[in-house]
Structure formats: structure tokens, C-alpha cells
């Protein structure tokens, strides 16, 4: 089911997508479950395979500027500046859609979320299929996002037509999602791009709008990215009594003695980027051990640490 990415498999994936099928593709953030964004029947299969509620709109992936212009007729200058700097890369822009985009992609909104991934395999598949691809993260709704082809195989393998293997995802957390609203860049989901970088590049104020203070930001539910085990957040260095039914997801070192179901350290050197790229894989491993609770250390909330804490809080349903 998992296929090595080469020219032959990329061509096969493109054909499956043109024919309305589902293909999991690697991106620099997480693996996506792709379908032809212009075919509502193909997109409906994404919702079915993921068990995803229809009020949660999809991100459309493009390989070049021309493709962007086929789905949106008006890109504000502030957004243009962000695209010029951060594409291809982990930035999703929410802009006005045109009539080419089916309602199922946007959950009936008149805006559409679009990004250009920074991954050779994803770009090759989009280019070769010649169509924009709708692709949410390739996990069952609400569960941990996949950062390897094996994660996809374990969670969705029987429900999709093909999984293209592109190795481990470099960034490891989902893209930063932004929308221009009221003259400001609203960050609807934090990722690796900071508010300072957004403001400096867009030339206007940038604010975090994760709490739903703008009316059109559906799908950002409080509980998300969650393992089966209960997640409890702890401060760095908090002592946890040895417990074989508990697992630890630690930032840089383990101060706890005794046996646990499993222990993961996200970055021994305390590098937040490394921690982000390891986050979901570490949680997947701990969850597969059958622990009833995962204690996860809080990380510093700067840079991509903001995105890590956003995912951990949602995993803990705080
Ligand atoms: O890094 C990523 O963005 C990954 C890879 C595969 O590209 N994709 C991803 O998609 O994380 P997904 O479906 O798991 O998250 C998409 C989120 C939705 O939950 C929703 O909150 C937001 O994007 N979104 C999509 N369309 C929107 C719109 N028109 N307005 C506001 N938010 C939107
Ligand atoms: Mg997702």
C-alpha cells in the first residue's frame, strides 16, 4: 500500500487523482490526504475516509501561481507579500474563492484556504495531475496528525487508493493559516511562521485569532490532534511518580526515575524546530504502547513553540 515515490508512482498517483481517487502525499508539514479539489465527489471521499464533519473546510494545494489564479480572483496585497516570501512553504492563506471551487471544499464559505507545499513529491503530484488538490492531514478526524507514511498506513490504509512515501516530514506541525480581516493579518492556526514575521512581511498588524474571534474560522475545535491516551500538561522538570501505565513526552531531558510505559524526549539540545518535527511521531509511539495517560511537558512559547503548545493544549482538550 505504501509506495516509494519515483516518477512511475507519481504518474500513477496523478492518474488516480484525475480519476477521482484518494492519495496520501508527503508535505513538509504533515502527510495530506489528497483528492481533486475541483471534483466534489472526490472531495466527499476525503470526508468519508477521515470521518470528518462537513463543517470543517479543506486546504487546497497548488504547485504554481497560475493554479492559484484559477481558484481565486482577488488576492489582497498583504497576502501577496506573504505568498512571495513564504511559498512554497508552511503558510496557508484564506482568500475569496471563485465559482470553480466546489462548496464541499469550503464548507459553503465564500473563502478558500490555499497553500503551496515545499516538498518535491507533493509539487510533482500536483503538477503532473494538473489540478489543485484538496488535502487535509491524512489522519482520522481529531486524532494525531501523520508525519510518516507508516502513520497513514496504520490509520487510513484500507480506506485510500495509494500512499506515497516521502520520508519523515521536515516541519512536523501543520501550516500557519492566515486571513486578512479588518485590515489585519489574523493567524487562525499557529505554525512555524511567527506573528512578527507575518507582520513584517505583510506590512500590517498580525494577531493570533485562534479563539474564534473572527466569524469564518470553522474547524478549529478545542479538542483535536489527540492521542487515545489522556494527555496531561506538566511544567518542564515536574516530577512524576513512576507508573507503568503512564508515558512521558518531555522537552529536553528526563528527571524522573523508575519505570514508565514509555518516555520520549523531543530535543535533547532544546531546539524547538527539532521538537516540532518529532512531536507527532513521539505521541504516536507513546500512544501505541497503550498507556492510559501521557504527561507532556510544556515547551517555551516562542517561534514554533507557539504551534507545539497549540497542538498540545488541543491534545489535552484545554
Ligand atoms: O500543513 C497543513 O496545512 C496540512 C498539510 C496536509 O497541508 N493540512 C492540514 O489540513 O492541516 P487540515 O484539514 O487538517 O486543517 C485545515 C484547517 C481546517 O480545519 C480549517 O480550520 C482551516 O484549515 N480552513 C480551511 N478552509 C478555511 C476557510 N475557508 N476559512 C477558515 N479556515 C479554513
Ligand atoms: Mg488536521
Q: Is the CB of 88 under 6 A from ligand 1?
A: no
- So what's the pLDDT on residue 223? 72
Extract the C-alpha cell encoding 64: 504554481
Is the peptide bond preceding residue 57 cis, with omega within 30 degrees of 0? Answer: no
Distance 174 CA to ligand 1 centre (A): 8
Task: Please list the residues that pair with 189 across neighbouring strands.
Answer: 177
> In terms of DSSP bridges, do strands 260-265 and 293-297 run parallel, antiparallel, or are they unpaired?
unpaired
Listed residue (130, 157, 173) closest to 24, CA to CA: 157
- Choosing from 219, 279, 307 the residue with most ligand 1 atoms within 8 A of its CB, the one to mutate for a pocket test is 219
Instruction: Compute, in angstroms, the gap from residue 139 CA to the centroid of ligand 2.
Output: 7
Q: Which CATH architecture has domain 230-315?
A: 3-Layer(aba) Sandwich (3.40)
CB 264 within 8 A of CB 250: yes
- pLDDT at position 1, please? 81
Residue nearest to atom 12 of ligand 1 (CA): 136
- Residue whose C-alpha is closest to residue 6's, from 153, 170, 165, 157: 165
What string of H, E and C letters represents the secondary structure of 153-202?
Answer: HHHHHHHCCEEEECCCCCCCCCCEEEEEECCEEEEEECCCCCHHHHHHHH
- The best mutation among 22, 25, 59 to test binding of ligand 1, ranked by most ligand atoms within 8 Å of the C-beta, falls on 59
Q: Would you say the CB of residue 180 lies under 6 angstroms from ligand 1?
A: no
At 129 the pLDDT is 98
Backbone Cα Rg of the chain = 19
Give the pLDDT score at 36.
98
Q: Best of 92, 118, 171 to mutate for ligand 1, by most ligand atoms within 8 A of CB? A: 92
What residues does the ion ligand 2 have nearby, CB within 5 Å? 137
Q: Considering the entire predicted model, what is its pTM?
A: 0.94
Q: Quick check: 176 and 187 in contact, CB under 8 A?
A: yes
Q: How many CA atoms within 13 Å lie on the side-chain side of 73?
A: 5
- Residues 126 and 144: their CA atoms lie apart, in Å, by 25
CA distances in angstroms from 288 to 8, 81, 143, 277, 284, listed in the order given: 33, 42, 13, 19, 6
172 Cβ closer than 6 Å to some ligand 1 atom: no
Do 35 and 133 form a contact (C-beta atoms < 8 A)? Answer: yes
Give domain limits for the chain: 2-208, 230-315
Write down the pLDDT at residue 55.
87
pLDDT of residue 216: 58
Is residue 234 within 8 A of residue 219, CB to CB? The reply is: no
C-alpha 311 – ligand 2 centre gap (Å): 10
Q: Which residues of 142-163 are buried (b: 16+ CB within 10 A; e: fewer)?
A: bbbbbbbbbbbbebbeeebbbb
Ligand nearest to the CA of 117: 1
Ligand 1 pocket, residue 175 CB under 6 Å: yes
pLDDT value of residue 72: 97
User: What is the C-alpha to C-alpha distance for residues 135 and 241, in angstroms, rounded to an integer?
Assistant: 42
Residue 244's CB is within 10 A of a number of other CB atoms, namely: 12
* CATH match for 2-208 among 3.30.200.20, 3.40.50.2300, 3.40.50.300, 3.90.870.10: 3.90.870.10
pLDDT one digit per residue (tens) for the chain, 318 residues: 899 999 999 999 999 999 999 999 999 999 999 999 999 999 999 999 999 988 899 999 999 999 999 999 999 999 999 999 999 999 999 999 999 999 999 999 999 999 999 999 999 999 999 999 999 999 999 999 999 999 999 999 999 999 999 999 999 999 999 999 999 999 999 999 999 999 999 999 999 986 555 655 555 666 778 899 999 999 999 999 999 999 999 999 998 888 999 999 999 999 999 999 999 999 999 999 999 999 999 999 999 999 999 999 999 987
Residue 220 Cβ contacting ligand 1 at under 6 Å: yes
Amino acid at each position: 500500500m505504501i509506495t516509494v515515490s519515483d516518477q512511475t508512482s507519481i504518474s500513477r498517483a496523478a492518474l488516480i487523482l484525475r480519476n477521482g481517487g484518494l492519495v496520501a502525499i508527503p508535505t513538509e508539514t504533515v502527510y495530506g490526504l489528497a483528492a481533486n479539489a475541483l471534483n466534489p465527489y472526490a472531495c466527499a471521499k476525503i470526508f468519508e475516509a477521515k470521518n470528518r464533519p462537513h463543517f470543517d473546510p479543506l486546504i487546497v494545494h497548488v504547485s504554481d501561481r497560475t493554479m492559484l489564479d484559477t481558484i481565486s480572483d482577488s488576492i489582497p496585497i498583504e497576502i501577496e507579500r506573504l505568498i512571495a516570501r513564504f511559498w512554497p512553504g508552511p503558510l496557508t492563506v484564506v482568500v475569496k474563492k471563485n465559482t470553480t471551487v466546489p462548496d464541499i471544499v469550503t464548507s459553503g464559505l465564500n473563502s478558500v484556504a490555499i497553500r503551496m507545499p515545499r516538498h518535491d513529491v507533493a509539487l510533482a503530484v500536483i503538477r503532473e495531475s494538473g489540478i489543485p488538490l484538496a488535502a487535509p492531514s491524512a489522519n482520522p478526524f481529531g486524532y494525531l496528525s501523520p508525519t510518516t507514511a507508516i502513520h497513514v498506513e496504520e490509520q487510513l490504509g484500507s480506506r485510500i487508493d495509494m500512499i506515497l512515501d516521502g520520508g519523515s516530514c521536515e516541519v512536523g506541525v501543520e501550516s500557519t493559516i492566515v486571513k486578512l480581516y479588518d485590515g489585519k493579518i489574523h493567524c487562525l492556526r499557529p505554525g512555524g511562521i511567527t506573528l512578527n514575521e507575518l507582520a513584517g512581511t505583510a506590512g500590517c498588524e498580525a494577531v493570533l485569532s485562534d479563539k474564534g474571534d473572527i466569524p469564518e474560522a470553522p474547524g478549529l475545535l478545542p479538542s483535536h490532534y489527540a492521542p487515545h491516551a489522556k494527555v496531561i500538561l506538566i511544567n518542564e522538570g515536574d516530577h512524576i511518580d513512576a507508573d507503568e501505565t503512564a508515558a512521558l513526552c518531555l522537552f529536553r531531558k528526563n528527571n524522573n526515575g523508575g519505570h514508565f510505559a514509555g518516555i520520549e524526549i523531543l530535543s535533547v539540545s532544546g531546539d524547538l524546530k527539532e521538537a516540532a518535527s518529532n512531536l507527532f511521531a513521539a505521541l504516536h509511539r507513546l500512544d501505541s504502547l497503550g498507556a492510559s495517560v501521557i504527561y507532556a511537558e510544556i515547551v517555551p512559547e516562542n517561534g514554533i513553540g507557539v504551534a507545539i503548545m497549540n497542538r498540545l493544549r488541543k491534545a489535552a482538550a484545554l
